[in-house]
Structure 1
Amino acid sequence: MDATAENNSQDKRMADIDVVRIMEMIPHRYPILMIERVVDIVLGESAVGVKNVSINEPYFQGHFPSRPVMPGVLIIEAMAQTSAVLVVGTLGKDAEGKLVYFMTVDEARFRRPVTPGDTLHIHVTKQRQRANVWKFKGEAKVNGVLVAEAVYSAMILDEK
């Protein structure tokens, strides 16, 4: 990478975001807030969400009592929330708290169960954006091993 490209990439970097700031940026709350931190943010390009999976998650009471496994749809939701934080960070304060709705989920693959004690690192990369529709590729990893992936699109609405 030449010096100009490296400087442009550094200009787009954003500081890590903690859960308090995430809740200012997106409207999700317990028990559906699926990320606790967003790191490695490059505005308009990519980010990594972090989810510490705890046995105290309400869905483990029924999924499954004898072998707790994080539901795949919630891993996809964690991808979407990480993407929403990236979108809001990219668009700025005016986008905070706006609703973002799934439009499509494609190419979803679940490679291994996610269980209590795992730390999910949710890598999202923008594939394209047209007006208020954004398309992303998401990969969830535990200890660097791919556990789930999907391509999805979402629309950000002006209503709050």
Structure 2
Amino acid sequence: MRWIWIDKFVEFRSGEFARAVKNLTLAEEHLHDHFPGYPVMPASLIIEGLAQTGGILVGEAGGFAEKVVLAKISRAEFHGVACAGDQLLYEVSVKGIRPDGAIVDAKAFLNGELLADAEIVFAHLDNTRANQIFGPKNFVFTQQLLGVLDLARAQEKSREADASAEPGEAGNGQPVGKQP
């Protein structure tokens, strides 16, 4: 089973930038154990959410032709904690993409304040090499995680359609405020 640490993308610019949201709830079992009586999101899972956001951003830039794996956390700083009931906003910017991998700048915000700041390095593995090491299952870009990206794309198309509608019309071409 693979855990997904992104609830939805709220902005996605291919190969450049992604913004994603993670809502923390007591329905998540890890919060009951970390720490009992004071449910705090583990820092490692905040990093994983940032890495998933960045991994999708990097993988999508290459058309998901190769597997993208977390290679290294070059730097990570935490400035507080997130608890059940909080909403994290992940912002990831691509610093560079090369044939062998990518580097992203990743930040997590809580109530508009910087909670975590990291630099994450990803490696690209061609499918032949990746299959030798990990087997044929694509553990990085699971259907569930890619579904989060598909939802963001659909929302973006809807926003673009609404923005391109004539003034006084809804995104469906129907006059606003008039019933057929």
TM over 0.5: yes
For the pair 1:61 / 2:36, whether they are aligned, the reply is no
For the pair 1:50 / 2:18, whether they are aligned, the reply is no
CA displacement 1:103-151 (0-9 Å, x = unmatched): 1112211101100111111000011111040101100001211111100
Q: Which amino acid aligns with 1:89?
A: E
Displacement of 1:49 after TM fit? 1.3
1:116 equivalent in structure 2: 84
| SS of residue matched to 1:75 | helix
* Unaligned runs of at least 5 residues, structure 2: 131-137, 139-180
2:94 to 126, 141, 148: 126
* Unaligned runs of at least 5 residues, structure 1: 1-27
- Normalised to the residue count of structure 1, the TM-score between the two structures is 0.74
| SS of residue matched to 2:49 | helix
2:72 to 88, 101, 104: 104
Displacement of 1:39 after TM fit? 2.2
Structure showing greater radius of gyration is 2
Identity level (%): 34
Q: Which amino acid aligns with 1:143?
A: N
CA distance in 2, matches of 1:156, 1:134: 8
2:43 equivalent in structure 1: 72
Q: Which amino acid aligns with 1:90?
A: A
For the pair 1:38 / 2:9, whether they are aligned, the reply is yes
2:119 equivalent in structure 1: 151
- Give the aligned length: 128
Distance 1:39-1:91 versus aligned 2 partners, 3 A rule: farther
Q: CA RMSD in A?
A: 1.6
CA distance in 2, matches of 1:99, 1:54: 31
CA distance in 2, matches of 1:91, 1:74: 25
CA distance in 1, matches of 2:75, 2:122: 15
Question: 2:93, 2:104 within 8 Å by CA — same for their partners in 1?
Answer: yes
